[in-house]
Amino acid sequence: MTIDISRRNFIKLGTFFGISVLIGRLPDAHALEIHSGPSSTDWISPDGKVRYRWDALNKVTGQKNFARDFRAQDLPGWPKKQAHAFFIKATQADRTFEGVDLSILGPDMQPDRLILHEDLIGDGVTVPQPEGLPTDFYGQNFLMPKGHTPPLLGQPVALLIYHDFDRFEAAKRSLRFAEGVVKYGAETGPKPPSNYGAARYIRIGGDTPTDSSVYSPMQDAVIWGAFDGNKPVWPPESPTGVFVPASVLTLHRGGGGVRDPKKVARETYEPMRRGMNAAADIEKDIEAARQDKNKLVLDRHGFSQSIDASAMEPDNGNAWYDAKTHTLHIITAAQSPYEVARVAALMVKNNKHFPVKTIKLLTGTTVGYGTKDHSIFPFYAIAACFYGGGLPVRLANDRYEQFQLGIKRHSIEMDVTIVADRKSGKFEIIKGFYNLNGGGRANFSFSVAQVAATAAQSIYYFPKSDLATIALATPAVEAGSMRGYGTIQAMSITELMVDEVAADLGIDQIELRRLNAMQAGYENTQGAQPLGELNNTEMLDLAAKHPLWVNRAKAKADFDKANPGKMYGVGFAQVQKDYGTGADTSALTLEFDANGKVRMRHCVQEIGTGATTAQQVIVRDMLGKAPDNVEFGVAEFPELPVVCNWSPYTTTQKQQDEFQKNPHWVPFMLPAMSASNSAYFIGFGTRQAAKFLFENALWPAARAIWSEGPAGGQISSGFMTVNDLRVVEGGIGGGGMETLSFERVAKKAHAMGLVTGVSLHCFSRWEWATATFNVPTIGPIKVAADVLSVRYGDGAAPKLKKRMTTGGYDFIKRSSVNFPSVQRNNAGVTTYAPAACLVELNVNSFTGEVEIMRHHNLLNTGKVIVPELVSGQLQGGLAMGIGHALMEELPLYSDGPGNGTWNFNRYTLPRGKDVAVWNQTAEYLAPLSDSSPTKGIGEVVMVPVVAATVNAITHAIGKRFYELPVTPEKIKKALGQ
């Protein structure tokens, strides 16, 4: 395979630490352009309906390529010969590492280069510590130093590089399960790094659900904890000393480094003290409820297992260090190429043994379910390439290695208490402790722990809540930002408990949920108001009327009678999953020429969700014309000269107030593809750009055309404003005016010298930044963006064209800006997507096997962009959720994937027969209006099916389960077998 990568195919990123960085795209979709001509819009019909995904033809014809598909010979300018590398890894994490013994390979299969920790350290190749991420996010060492105990099972201890594939492959197979290769010394017991963090979210609500909280994280403070061993230590309830846990200091990192501990203590102690007093009051209320016959107190211990993402593309990288030009070439699978480039530059910035002047990064489509977001693997590939002897070095996991090294979903142990009033059925208190196993590398473990706690309320309003969470460092394999991100673990247990509360109270399960569902204006457990109406009660009403629910008693009686040895059950669950990160950004450039050709350059990266299709549909729906020319995965916009301090979560208000005086400053640069952020958050920027052109180019141009002719033209007899302008079939219309083709309007806009191109950057911290820009030809205008540049049409005055010096655009300095308060970080989340699921199944009482017969799903998507993409997300999510509920599980320690023996022969994934593939139905709630926002549903679609399945098992056999997955063995044990 050969490809044509010219200079034009590279997107100039800029400079980090004095290193020039360029990002290019692998040609996974014919590339970056839809060429003009009859076939350019085949994927979308004239009425805007999508016939197939924009990248569909490339997918089905084998032209959609992943990073792992490429070798050096495929890339112009790279050497034709390719080196290959693999790791030797520690399978014990309780003894010191003392070296490797490769005698099993004999003289003919010895590596061309053996790399140990001491080699890397001697050459200054160290693990990067990026600003804006927790300390030791990527761990401390690439390879294990001799005499030290590996922090996690599967820790690489040596890197073997071969200059030919045959010996590489033979050696790798010889060493795969070999014993005695890694030499161990004294037994030390586990030596994981320091624990990753502890947080507590305490809220006491007002007199009604819509009143302000008496105490809440949003209003007052999140409470940060320290550790005594693995036990969290919270601030004392009275001021008996200075309490400044490391997590507080970490969270107060800004441009100036760690602040003075005593100052931090003064600023944070008082609200935390009040929070701990509130927690003590909640505990007293729980104990009082235990003594009150009118109250129900349900305490349960839950467990959610570690699982593998099983993504289609295992982690991989191919890198070449050109010592002559001091250029680092990289191909890697990444959900955030921009972040890889930034951290790569940090990693090599001061290296004198391998000086780097330029980094050229190639990326393309990948599938990672979150696990290729902030992964250490690209940096392993970079480290390896310095030892290739001038050859590119390919480091690519096979499936054994992916199980051993790939990022996992966190296992969480949970202790949860729910207090309810027996007479009214109203929930009063939820208290939870969420103990997350973070493995031996930090990654996003503490963040996942926090999200688990803030999601635990599910769809319910609790007047009082105390949700504590910790992320422990253990010898388990690394866990991080996998799909679900703590919510699938926490909400599943809540949903199982709600069913049990309903049974104890003698209330229908859906009716109990309806009594307690969050509604518009209610505060969540962080004291923040969710965005808009969630439609939880509407979804519950639809589920209550569904035949599966209405007829479940009779259906069970009939089925059990007709099928001896099998027991029928129906279960229900409903959740609401947050989407977004709290530091969400979007950036794009959208323009049209005088011939009506639309061009878009966009930051969105395709990871299999169809985001590249959806962003183009947004443009078509708002402008009446899909782009003719597109570039995706753009990492730098010369039109947008922005700067950033990389700390959106830790910048103080004082720092932000100072930083924002610089019209180029933004709190964060570009998004990773994570947190279901593309449809709403990344799409928000697309909508703002299209809206800007619609109002400031299409409207004045169309109005001018309609005003042509005698007596002021066709528009003069009526009254029409921009609010009456519409995208209609055939072009632009509205207000009873003649329909104008987009081409005709574009030509007029250029002739008038209007703004015909816009480039902008948006930022959200659970609230969108807004700014005012004084744009020539328009005047002062407020935009939901923090940076803006414009391009003027061909007929613009020379003085305007002279302003277009920033990437061919006129950079408009904002005259004022409103960035969300940093206090909004404490909101945890405000954007939710609700989803519900009904599951019909039967349980074989002899074998314990579960057969899912049917499931019906309800989803609140907001305004759907492309229905078929939603359907695809739903179907894939359901399969992952069913796997989580019934079969997927990885042991955490010595018998788990860290020992290197796990593959799909041991790890069970759901197949078509397991997920009722031919008996699944779904319905989407209609948006409240045509201006309802699109919701991020990529993760929520996998969550409710977990608890619905387990609740159905309970209906079938009368036994409750709080440990996942519910395997046949657990069912047989519950049945006394």
Q: What is the pLDDT of residue 26?
A: 76
Q: What is the DSSP string of 694-753?
A: IIIIIHHHHHHHHT-SGGG-TTTTS---GGG-EEETTEEE-TTPPPB-HHHHHHHHHHTT
Residues in the chain: 977
Please tell me the distance from the alpha carbon of residue 130 to that of residue 118, in angstroms, as a whole number. Answer: 23
Tokens 């320690």 belong to 893
Q: What is the pLDDT of residue 16?
A: 84
- Is the backbone of residue 22 left (phi > 0), alpha (psi -120 to 50) or beta? beta
Q: What is the pLDDT of residue 241?
A: 44
Q: Would the pLDDT of 614 be above 60?
A: yes
CB 505 within 8 A of CB 424: no
Q: What is the pLDDT of residue 35?
A: 31
Closest residue by Cα to residue 129 from 635, 582, 646, 477: 646
Residue 13: pLDDT band (50, 70, 90) is low
Tokens 């033809």 belong to 57
Q: What is the pLDDT of residue 561?
A: 98
The residue among 348 and 65 whose pLDDT is bigger is 348
Q: What is the pLDDT of residues 458-504, one digit of tens each?
A: 999 999 999 999 999 999 999 999 999 999 999 999 999 999 999 99
CB 691 within 8 A of CB 785: no
Residues in CB range of 905: below 8 A, 6 or more apart: none
- Maximum distance among all Cα pairs of the chain, rounded to whole angstroms: 97
Q: What is the pLDDT of residues 872-891, one digit of tens each?
A: 999 999 999 999 999 999 99
Q: What is the pLDDT of residues 271-299, one digit of tens each?
A: 999 999 999 999 999 999 999 999 999 99
Please tell me the distance from the alpha carbon of residue 513 to that of residue 495, in angstroms, as a whole number. Answer: 10
Please tell me the distance from the alpha carbon of residue 915 to that of residue 941, in angstroms, as a whole number. Answer: 14
Residue 443 carries which DSSP code? T
Please tell me the distance from the alpha carbon of residue 918 to that of residue 676, in angstroms, as a whole number. Answer: 27
Please tell me the distance from the alpha carbon of residue 467 to that of residue 430, in angstroms, as a whole number. Answer: 8
Q: What is the pLDDT of residues 510-542, one digit of tens each?
A: 999 999 999 999 999 999 999 999 999 999 999
Q: What is the DSSP string of 666-679?
A: -S-----S-TT-II
Q: What is the pLDDT of residues 14-62, one digit of tens each?
A: 778 889 998 887 754 333 333 333 335 689 998 889 999 998 887 777 7
Q: What is the DSSP string of 873-918?
A: HHHHHHHHHHHHHHT--B-SSTTSGGGS--STTTSPPP-GGGTTTT
| Chain centroid to CA 507 | 37
Q: What is the pLDDT of residue 64?
A: 72
Q: What is the pLDDT of residues 803-853, one digit of tens each?
A: 999 999 999 999 999 999 999 998 888 999 999 999 999 999 999 999 999
Span 924-929, mean pLDDT?
94
- Helices (DSSP H) in 729-771: which residue ranges? 742-751
Q: What is the pLDDT of residue 270?
A: 86
Please tell me the distance from the alpha carbon of residue 318 to that of residue 801, in angstroms, as a whole number. Answer: 44
Residue 553: pLDDT band (50, 70, 90) is very high
For the chain, percent of residues with pLDDT exceeding 90:
85
For the chain, percent of residues with pLDDT exceeding 70:
94
Q: What is the pLDDT of residue 252?
A: 31
Closest residue by Cα to residue 371 from 347, 420, 416, 405: 405
Tokens 């030290």 belong to 148
Q: What is the pLDDT of residue 57?
A: 81
And the tokens for 321?
A: 């260090």
Please tell me the distance from the alpha carbon of residue 749 to that of residue 737, in angstroms, as a whole number. Answer: 18
Closest residue by Cα to residue 41 from 592, 595, 626: 626
Residue 267: pLDDT band (50, 70, 90) is low
Please tell me the distance from the alpha carbon of residue 874 to that of residue 883, in angstroms, as a whole number. Answer: 14
Q: What is the pLDDT of residue 40?
A: 52
Q: Would the pLDDT of 6 be above 60?
A: no
Q: SS3 letters for 498-542?
A: HHHHHHHHCCCHHHHHHHHECCCCCCCCCCCCCCCCCCHHHHHHH
Span 427-434, mean pLDDT?
98
Residue 229 carries which DSSP code? T
Tokens 């709290």 belong to 582
Bond preceding residue 235 cis, omega within 30 of 0: no
And the tokens for 448?
A: 């996942």
Q: Would the pLDDT of 242 be above 60?
A: no
Please state, as a whole number, how many other Cβ atoms lie within 10 Å of the Cβ of residue 745.
25
Mean pLDDT of all residues belonging to the chain: 92
Please state, as a whole number, how many other Cβ atoms lie within 10 Å of the Cβ of residue 765.
25
Q: What is the pLDDT of residue 484?
A: 95
